[in-house]
């Protein structure tokens, strides 16, 4: 799975986003930047290699993006997840395009919810009986941390697959 120098692709790094001055604009700008970064890192990866474990823990590109789809849906849309470890494994029939499309759809749905949230201190407007919703601020910060962490994993895995680097 190690890339050889002849097939390395170096993309220019995209600098952090220039956002508006409000806290909401900064948080959403950085989250969208990370979301786009990981989706682009997975997109175009060769199918079998995107599914192959790149490290002893079994982590792979498709699994990371599949997991983040569940995180987006649970955090912003109130979906319940009974088995978090299973979210790191895409179904055998899922290809790169399908996993990327589902992630982008979840992001669009999450952003539609966020578009209606004017107060970062207010709870997220999601239906989850018996469990209080976190504040919008907490949810945005958590997703920045979660997406950034896994985007870093994806950077390393993609470089191991075909030498691609950069954002």
Least confident of 12-16, 85-89, 104-108, 112-116: 12-16
pLDDT digits (tens, 9 = 90+) for 54-78: 899 999 999 999 999 999 999 999 9
Instruction: Flag whether pLDDT at 164 surpasses 70.
Output: yes
Percent of the chain with pLDDT over 70: 89
Separation between Cα atoms, residue 68 and residue 87, nearest integer Å: 8
Q: What is the pLDDT of residues 100-156, one digit of tens each?
A: 999 999 999 999 999 999 999 999 987 667 778 899 999 999 999 999 999 999 999
């Amino acid at each position: 799975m190690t890339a050889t120098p002849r097939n390395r692709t170096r993309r220019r790094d995209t600098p952090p986003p220039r956002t508006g001055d409000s806290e909401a604009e900064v948080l959403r700008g950085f989250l969208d930047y990370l979301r786009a970064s990981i989706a682009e890192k997975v997109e175009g990866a060769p199918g079998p290699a995107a599914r192959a474990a790149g490290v002893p823990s079994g982590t792979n590109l498709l699994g990371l993006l599949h997991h983040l789809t569940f995180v987006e849906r649970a955090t912003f849309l109130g979906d319940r997840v009974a088995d978090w470890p299973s979210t790191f494994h895409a179904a055998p029939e899922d290809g790169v395009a399908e996993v990327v499309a589902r992630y982008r759809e979840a992001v669009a749905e999450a952003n539609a919810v966020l578009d209606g949230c004017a107060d970062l201190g207010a709870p997220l407007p999601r239906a989850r009986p018996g469990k209080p919703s976190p504040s919008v601020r907490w949810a945005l910060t958590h997703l920045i941390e979660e997406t950034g962490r896994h985007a870093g994993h994806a950077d390393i895995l993609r470089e191991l697959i075909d030498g691609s680097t950069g954002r």
